[in-house]
Amino acid sequence: MRYQVLRPPYCYRWAVLISIVLVTVSLIISLSWAGAEGTPAGSQPPSAQPVQAAPGPQAPAAPAHAPVRTTARQGRFVALTFDDGPDPAYTPQILDLLAQHGAVATFCMVGTQVRRHPELVAQVVRRGMRLCDHTVSHDEQLARRNEARISADITGAQADLRLAADGDVAVPYFRAPGGNWSETITTIASRAGMTPLGWSVDSRDWTLPGAPAIVATVEQAVQPGAVILLHDGGGQRGQTVDALAELLPWLVGQGYQFDFPAT
């Protein structure tokens, strides 16, 4: 007896085939989404990400503008500087002594004195000397003042000097009263186009020790490149004039030449 094998109709076979295809496609899509969720959009696999170098030591902050304490030229040079003038009693005498010995100097002038004696500022410039801003008021506690006060005292004296010198003469230096510096002071002076000016030899003439003591102090401390602090104002400066009359020929005899401070 022969049995017939029952076969499902063709429509059922196609339905089964389509179901298998759909299941396969669904599995592929599910696997793709699972892979995508493992790596954030736009990112690289861990093995492909660049390795960041460990941070190295930080570069030091840029130093503030330190006051210069040497001459512009190297060698056997000295720079003479005179503070607290101009003074009608002493500044002309000092200018005459400088001229007699072929010397140049820098005059650090106080604004209140500049306003009283603008003709002396012009005379200093005509003699080939340089100007230095020494503030309007010579406030030795300037470093403790607020920034607005400091700026007014510095730029005010600069304006006084330029006005007295007819406005077209440079004021290349600034010196803090008493040598009392701060970062704010040096920054403001530098921003105004002036080099902060210190000294390397203090003659201590401001203590009025007598001309011989002033001479001895300078002779013992001077060396090539020195910036020497003297005074032509701010008090009785006859001792300074007398000391300068001895120092200038002595410096020349020691082989020194005269220069301006570095800028």
Cβ–Cβ contacts within 10 Å for residue 69, how many?
A: 17
Q: Determine which one of 87, 231, 232, 259 is catalytic.
A: 231
Give the separation between CA 164 and CA 157, rounded to whole angstroms.
11
Give the three-class secondary structure for 133. Answer: strand
For the record, the structure tokens of 210 come out as 């007598």
Token representation of residue 227: 């910036």
Query: With left for phi above 0 and alpha for psi between -120 and 50, is residue 132 left, alpha or beta?
Result: beta
Under a CB-based contact definition with an 8 Å cutoff, are residues 231 and 81 in contact? no
Strand partners, 230: 82
Name every residue whose Cβ is closer than 8 Å to that of residue 221 and which is 6 or more positions away in sequence: 200, 201, 202
Q: Is 231 a catalytic residue?
A: yes
The first and second tokens of residue 241, run together, are 């004039």
CA dihedral 262, 122, 81, 67 (to 10 degrees): -40
Neighbours of 144 (CB within 10 A): 11
Residue 83 bears catalytic tag: yes
Catalytic residue among 83, 133, 153, 259: 83
Using CA atoms, how far residue 162 sits from 71, 77, 106, 107, 157, in Å, is: 24, 28, 15, 14, 9
Query: Rounded to an integer, what distance in angstroms lies between the CA atom of residue 17 and that of residue 10?
Result: 11
Residues with active-site annotation:
83, 231
